[in-house]
Amino acid sequence: MKILTGNDLKSGAVIWWDGQGWSLHVDDAVDASEHADEILAREEAARHVNSSYVVDATQTPEGVRPNHIKERIRALGPTVRPDLTLKPADPSAINWVI
């Protein structure tokens, strides 16, 4: 599947296209294969997202997982600071990243 990502313009936070808007959580990401360019152009113009692009991902039983490690680290946070990730109470969350 192809999912869309970028950064929130003001906060810089990593965000993912969920079909209606932008989510902090990669599990909310939807397949946007068919309309990726159109969505990104529209959302960039509206300043809903900054520096956006398309990412290859896989729908797994555990959720949406970007195929490349760089995107998986973006999706969770720095593996060396579990306290600063999106799942600070779950240090094992980094296991699906690496």
Partner 1 sequence: MYKYDSYDQAMVDTRVEEFRDQTRRRIEGTLAEENFRPLRLQNGLYLQLHAYMLRVAVPYGTLSSAQMRMLGDIADKYDRGYGHFTTRQNIQYNWIKLDEAPDILADLAKVEMHAIQTSGNCIRNISSDQYAGAAKDELIDPRPYAELLRQWSSFHPEFLHLPRKFKIAVIASKTDRAAMRLHDIGIEIVKNDAGEIGCAFYVGGGMGRTPMIAPLINPFVPLDQLITYSEACLRVYNRYGRRDNKYKARIKILVHEMGKDEYTRQVEEEFAHLLTQGIEPPIAELERIIPYFADPAFDAAASDDLDLSDPDFAVWVKNNTVAHKAKGYVIAVVSLKPVGGIPGDASADQIRLMADLAKDYSFDELRVTHAQNIVFPHVRKSDLYTLWQKLDAADLSTANLDGIGDIIACPGLDYCSLANARSIPVAQKISERFAGKQEELGELKLKISGCINACGHHHAGHIGILGVDRKGVENYQLLLGGSEGADTSLGTITGPGFSEDGIVDAVEKATNVYLANKEGEERFLDTYRRIGMAPFKEAIYG
Q: Which residues bind partner 1 (CB under 8 A)?
A: 7, 9-14, 44, 47, 50-51, 67-70, 73-74, 77-81, 84, 98
Minimum distance of partner 1 from residue 47's CB (angstroms): 5
CA-based angle 65:69:74, to the nearest 5?
75
Closest CA to 55 of 23, 78, 29, 87: 29
Minimum distance of partner 1 from residue 64's CB (angstroms): 17
Minimum distance of partner 1 from residue 34's CB (angstroms): 25
**With 0-12 CB in 10 A as exposed, 13-18 as middle and 19+ as buried, what is 59?**
middle
* Rounded-to-integer distance, Cα 81 and Cα 26, Å: 19
- Which lies closer to partner 1 via its Cβ, residue 19 or residue 37? 37
- Which lies closer to partner 1 via its Cβ, residue 34 or residue 83? 83
- Which lies closer to partner 1 via its Cβ, residue 30 or residue 73? 73
